[in-house]
Amino acid sequence: MSGKPFYITTPIYYVNSVPHLGTAYTTVAADALARYRRMTGHDVHFLTGLDEHGQKVAQAAEENGVSPQEWVDRIAPAFKEVWELLDITNDDFIRTTEERHELGAQAFLSKLYEQGDIYKGHYDGWYCVPCETYYAEDQLIEGECPSCGREVKFLKEDNYFFRLSAYQDFLVDLIENNPSFIEPRTRRNEVLSFVNSGLKDLSISRTTFEWGIPLPFDTDHVMYVWFDALLNYITALGYGENGEPEFSGDLGRFWPADVQFVGKDIIRFHCAIWPAMLHAAGVALPKQVFAHGFLLTKGEKMSKSKGNAQTPASLVERFGVDAYRYYFLRDVNFGQDGSVSMESMVQRYNGDLANDWGNLCSRLFNMIGKYFDGVVPPMPTQLTDTDETLRAYAAVLPEKYEDAIQSLDFSGALESVWDLVKGTNYYIENEAPWGLAKAEETRPRLEAVLYNALEAVRIAALFCFPVMPNTSSDVWTRLGLGDISAVKDIAADAQWGKLPAGNSVTTGDPLFPRIYEDE
Ligand SMILES: [Zn+2]
């Protein structure tokens, strides 16, 4: 039985540098969503990849004395390595220099050209090479790029144009009538005012350099890198691979995307140009584009160009991959800018992971070892009020978690798990099993308390899995349970009482050994 298709994409990352905390942030969030949707029985397809064309790449290659293809081939493995390091479970990794993409992009463009949505014109304007974007004189800020503040060049060329202006009314209707198409709301308003300010036709070809996909109807031109890049989301699903403007293979079932994650700096491309392109070509629109915020260090965007000492690898080395994934999704509200720092990461690690979660597991597994020779006691048949309270935390978790994930509130989802984790810690403190262990007549109560606490831990681990797959697998293994990554119906697995009495429990090392600030 295969579930309902669920397609999630990250932006494809530009290959002018190795992956940094920002690209890792988007990718980890997408991975947590992909993992959770697999646990809700969906047939998930998770795409990420690389944007390998454009003048910036050609320049970087030239500076390094290699061809552009050699250059991108040299950088691409660094992305794959970081995604492996972060346990990213993408189903595909597309590179825009792959034939499947080039064929698809050309098929798409030919269709627009043949139906008159693309025409030849003349362009002049101020061009920012790092942003690969043209600006009108009045858009410049003190004569420099309004987006990145760098130097712009005056360029003149014959270009092909996409009739973006013809889709203005369509876009306004789309955004106004589909409130969840662009999330969060601040981004939606931003795109709406951009569209309402009047759309100009978009120059979609270049003749000043050669590193791009040749236009199928005029090979003196290469495709504008953004136009090329956006198409990856459908070419990865086989759009145009047979030379025709259509989805030809089995992967077409995943389109339209359920959600496309983008950074807030690229919403004009994803929320205005992209839907206009798709609509023009008669392709369905993604159900949602979600723009996350920036990671800020001391109030400044953590950007690759400004340099940043911490890399995903250095943080994983210090905190471990699960804690890395947890920190960024728990500490930053997805959709807003968030400050990140080593201090707050150490705090989250020691507080939430070492104290709340890791300690709970260690204490509990140790007590099972000590009092029950490492065997899960029977499930109690009678419940006290405190037992009921604990079970209530577990009972509301699936719905609270699902609601939070529906609005891509990863922090809220984790908070709902922590209600159970903290509730279980409180329960243990309150019931004091070490006291119950002192007398034979309180042994039935000791069994009940430890069974309940173990069951709460089993359920908490289940909901930690999308964000912290390694430690959750570990907890399940220690509880003598099967492969947590095979769970296909998380709500059913989260029902109370699924932990079999008689299972062997292994104690093991602490899940999150405490970290000291000066380490
Ligand atoms: Zn710029």
User: Residue 304: its pLDDT value, please?
Assistant: 43
Q: Tell me, in angstroms, the distance from the centre of ligand 1 to residue 151's CA.
A: 7
pLDDT value, residue 134 = 84
- Quote the pLDDT of residue 299: 55
In whole angstroms, give the CA distance from residue 431 to residue 180: 46
Q: 29: CA distance to ligand 1 center in Å?
A: 27
- Tally Cβ neighbours within 10 Å of residue 300: 12
d(CA 158, ligand 1 centre) in Å: 22
What confidence tens digit (pLDDT) does each residue in 293-340 have?
Answer: 999 876 555 544 444 468 999 999 999 999 999 999 999 999 899 999
| Ligand 1 centroid, distance to 130 Cα (angstroms) | 5
Q: How far is the CA of 471 from the centre of ligand 1 (A)?
A: 42
Q: How far away, in angstroms, is 371 Cα from ligand 1 center?
A: 65
pLDDT beneath 50, residues of the chain? 1, 303-308
Q: What is the pLDDT of residue 309?
A: 66
* pLDDT for res 382: 93
Q: How far is the CA of 288 from the centre of ligand 1 (A)?
A: 27
The dihedrals phi and psi of 35, each to the nearest 5 degrees, come to -65, -40
Q: What is the Å distance from ligand 1's center to 265 Cα?
A: 11
425 Cβ contact partners less than 8 Å away, ≥ 6 residues apart? 356, 359, 360
Whole-number Å distance, alpha carbon 147 to ligand 1 midpoint, is 5
d(CA 251, CA 275): 20
pTM beyond cutoff 0.85: yes
Query: Ligand 1 centre and the CA of 144: distance in Å?
Result: 8
Distance 133 CA to ligand 1 centre (A): 7
Tell me, in angstroms, the distance from the centre of ligand 1 to residue 140's CA.
10
- Predicted local distance difference test score (pLDDT) of residue 298: 67
- For 188-230, write each residue's pLDDT tens digit: 999 999 999 999 999 999 998 899 999 999 999 999 999 999 9
Planar angle of CA 191, 193, 197, nearest 5 degrees = 120
Which residues contact residue 408 at a Cβ distance below 8 angstroms, ignoring those fewer than 6 apart?
A: 29, 33, 183, 259, 290, 334, 335
CB 67 within 8 A of CB 516: no
> Strand 289-292 to strand 259-263: parallel, antiparallel, or no bridges (unpaired)?
parallel
- How many A from CA of 182 to the centre of ligand 1? 24
Q: Which residues contact 302 (CB under 8 A, 6 or more apart)?
A: 20, 21, 22, 294, 295, 296, 308, 340
Burial category of 73 from C-beta neighbours within 10 Å (exposed 0-12, middle 13-18, buried 19 and up): middle
Sorted by where each starts, the structural domains of the chain and their CATH numbers stand as 341-493 (1.10.730.10)
The alpha carbon of 15 and the centre of ligand 1 are apart by a number of angstroms equal to: 16
Ligand 1 centroid to residue 149 C-alpha, Å: 6
How many C-beta atoms surround the C-beta of residue 464 within 10 A? Answer: 22
Burial pattern 333-368, b for ≥16 Cβ within 10 A else e, equals bbbeebebeeeebbebbbebbbebbbbbbbebbebb
CA–CA gap between residue 152 and residue 375 (Å, rounded): 69
Determine contact, residues 168/198, Cβ cutoff 8 Å.
Answer: yes
Are 7 and 254 in contact, with CB atoms under 8 Å apart? yes
